Structure 1
């Protein structure tokens, strides 16, 4: 005869086995859900300044500030198993004289699903609007529609050498990471993977960073010609 403890252990073991198998099936559903993210990004204003880019910086150095516009459709990333989507924009440029590539994040954002809105680190007014937009719905794909115009970067770009002015062949790229309720996190890919399509677009044309902006420089006024 099994005592009460043995029976509880057997029930718990059976429960965890069933829960694990069920979780695998739930995670597998994502693999058969089509993903087709797309977007267009372009820089709208760039400048390079010399100073202390962070409050903890010990010395002055050159840092770049890049504003950008983004029109992206990430709605296909939101399914019933999506907890939240992490979106970020990077600036990439080659290191002169080497095969290395510099990469720095300039902006990021977390887009939650209705069931994970409580995880959003926003104010009460924004939270109220967020909950009202998702009232009665478990999926809100339109949250994946991004339209940013002349967006200010969250982070400045620096370089270990302290110099970044006149950097050439700079590109902006859009990336994402999907965190599901059950299963493994997934990231954007450069090629198609089953039902998941690679990010269509999401890369800007190449551009160069300007020279260091000095305090004596004044913006040039445009003259209308008739």
Structure 2
């Protein structure tokens, strides 16, 4: 999704025009033509969305007058005394952009041990070890207002002790001007993959995702998750070898 537009500049009155445009890279055959905001934003957090969703035939800006004339009931809202009209749009290189960043990741080596966690208690808990590949191009995320990116790789899984576990295994800061084309092979994790019990051994559905915070010079700090994930299994036996 590219932008949400509230626009009644050309109309005097109590109505505000509300719709979400999916952006210039969608065409009239977009899978989101009949989608809801929940469908369009499920891969991103904190992105504003108001229905109806608009897809322009050739990627040009939506015809606001047409929407106003023909879809007034669906694309309008009543403005209260304290309401104002605003516009939220994503730009890249001075142009409206709705590009969604993809990331390719893969696990190379996956083992699990059962050892005492002296940092929390002396009980024996599962400790996972893995190496991973990661490939993505984040260059297009930088503009004049982006100071740096804070990337982090997260493992998510369900265990008997917790309905949802999220463990950050690796992170990286990329400053503006640095190389944002990543192609890592057989990388070690930076942080320990502890479970608060024995939930890793034999676990058959642990999912890796890549996310980042955009650190601006001024403004909000959006949290974005890349398209693409990788699911892997832990062995059914503990390793006795040194890792």
Q: Per the shorter chain, which TM-score range?
A: 0.5 to 0.7
| Gaps in structure 2 of 5+ consecutive residues | 1-86
- Compared CA separation, residues 173 and 145, structure 1 to 2 (3 A): same
Deviations 1:27-76 (A, max 9, x none): x99733334322100111111122245x6354232200111000111111
- Alignment size in residue pairs: 149
Matched residue, 1:68: 132
1:108, 1:154 within 8 Å by CA — same for their partners in 2?
Answer: yes
More strand by share: 2
Matched residue, 2:238: 212
Matched residue, 1:103: 166
- Compared CA separation, residues 46 and 63, structure 1 to 2 (3 A): same
Larger RCO (CA within 8 A; separation ≥ 6):
1
Superposition pairs of residues 112-191 of structure 1, within 5 angstroms: 112-113=175-176, 140=177, 143-189=179-225
From 117, 141, 153, the equivalent of 1:77 is 141
- Compared CA separation, residues 97 and 159, structure 1 to 2 (3 A): closer
**Deviation (angstroms), 1:147:** 0.8
Work out the CA distance in 2 between the residues paired with 1:68 and 1:158.
17
Work out the CA distance in 2 between the residues paired with 1:36 and 1:85.
16
Superposition pairs of residues 78-93 of structure 1, within 5 angstroms: 78-93=142-157
Work out the CA distance in 1 between the residues paired with 2:130 and 2:110.
5
RMSD value, Cα: 2.5
Matched residue, 2:106: 42
Q: Give TM-score, length-normalised by structure 1.
A: 0.59
Work out the CA distance in 2 between the residues paired with 1:30 and 1:105.
30
Superposition pairs of residues 22-61 of structure 1, within 5 angstroms: 31-33=90-92, 34=97, 35-52=99-116, 56-59=119-122, 60-61=124-125
- Compared CA separation, residues 186 and 77, structure 1 to 2 (3 A): same
Work out the CA distance in 2 between the residues paired with 1:148 and 1:184.
29
- Compared CA separation, residues 94 and 73, structure 1 to 2 (3 A): same
Matched residue, 2:34: none
2:125, 2:196 within 8 Å by CA — same for their partners in 1?
Answer: no
Work out the CA distance in 1 between the residues paired with 2:102 and 2:114.
35
1:93, 1:168 within 8 Å by CA — same for their partners in 2?
Answer: no
